[in-house]
Amino acid sequence: MRRNILIILGVVILALAILASYSIAGGGKKEIPKPKKIIKTVFVDTVKNGTIPIMIEANGNLVAKRRLALYSEVQGVFKTGRKLFKEGQEYKKGETIISIDAAEYYASVQSAKSNLYNLITSIMPDLRLDYPLVFEKWNKYLTDFDINKGTPELPAMTSEKEKFFISGKGILTNYYNVKNLEQRLAKYQIKAPYNGILIEALVTEGTLVRSGQKLGEFINTNEYELEVAIGKTYSDLLRIGKPVALTNLNKTETYTGKVARINGRVDQASQTITAFIEVANDGLREGMFLEATLNAKEEEDAIEIDRGLLLENNRIYVVKDSVLDYIDVNPIYFTDKKVVLKNVPDGEVIVSKPVVGAYAGMLVSIYEGKTKAAK
């Protein structure tokens, strides 16, 4: 009896275990969810072709249009002047920038002028007797001769006899010798050819200056030039006198210049042409970095978009029936941020902002609040 009960109890426990195992196995099965279709929202523009101005952008550093490298052609001690010879010192036109001690050389010039005066004086009795018609003009020359001033030009000789007589006495040789000495004496002083400022000073007062030594550099602060490189594609669009908009590096100041010169040679390495833009403003300084914008031409039937929207092989994304697609375009001009395109049909809906992971055939939805016309 007891044995039968144990057998029945074992069968019941085994049955319950089998049922429990089936229940657990059946409950672990989960239905695999179907992936949801992700539809990205894109910003679009509707194409409307129009006239796009082609703006050529370039940059460079300002250089003074007129500059003077100061070199000594004589030797002597640099004298102290009315103004210190220092960088940043301003000089007016005609004002002495550099003065070199010329006391010894000045004495030799005066001696030569005295010899010329004495030589002309010695021939005056002969002129009175043999050439009375020319005596008066030579006598007036001696009267006007001032040894402390520049040597006046000799009187014009009207006859061959007079010319032979004057030349035979050595007067012409002495005269041109004196003029040569006076020309060299003038080189002991360097005067400002225009209003400007000293930007480099290589010597100080009391320095022994040698012939051929560079003393400094002087520039005119009224006019500057900006040298820029322009692609040869648009070189034929440049014209001398064309206005150019200029801005500083921080975009806080704007200036107006004009094309002053255009180099006739194309740089072989960069295939660019150098243009020189002239600009004048009191706030400018040599060495300033400026950005130039030249209005080269106007392109008809074109649009301008962000450069990042242009794909490889010259394509851009468009939206057709909520699906991304692409079309071929013709880029004609690039800037750092923009690109000008042609062959984009009017009314085409193009993507106006980059889409991450975009591909042709991708489902998208248009963000209605940002739709506008692309020009």
Query: pLDDT tens-digit profile of 124-174?
Result: 898 888 888 888 989 898 888 888 888 899 988 888 888 888 888 899 999
**Beta strand ranges found along 205-253 (DSSP E):** 208-209, 214-219, 224-231, 243-248
Tokens of 205: 């007062």
How many CA atoms does the CB half-sphere of 284 hold within 13 Å?
28
- Domain extent listing, the chain: 42-53+300-374, 56-63+222-297, 69-93+194-219, 103-186
Structural fold of domain 69-93+194-219: OB fold (Dihydrolipoamide Acetyltransferase, E2P) (2.40.50)
Per-residue model confidence as pLDDT tens digits over 175-218: 999 999 999 999 999 999 999 999 999 999 888 999 999 999 99
pLDDT of residue 238: 75
Neighbours of 82 (CB within 10 A): 7
Average pLDDT over residues 294-320: 86
Structural fold of domain 42-53+300-374: 2.40.420
Q: Give the pTM.
A: 0.65
User: Checking DSSP bridges between strand 272-279 and strand 254-266, what pairing results, if any?
Assistant: antiparallel
Percent of the chain with pLDDT over 70: 88
pLDDT of residue 265: 86
Do 42-53+300-374 and 56-63+222-297 show the same overall fold? no
Structural fold of domain 56-63+222-297: Elongation Factor Tu (Ef-tu); domain 3 (2.40.30)
pLDDT of residue 195: 93
| Sign of the alpha-carbon torsion through 309, 315, 319, 324 | negative
Residue linked to tokens 């004048």: 280
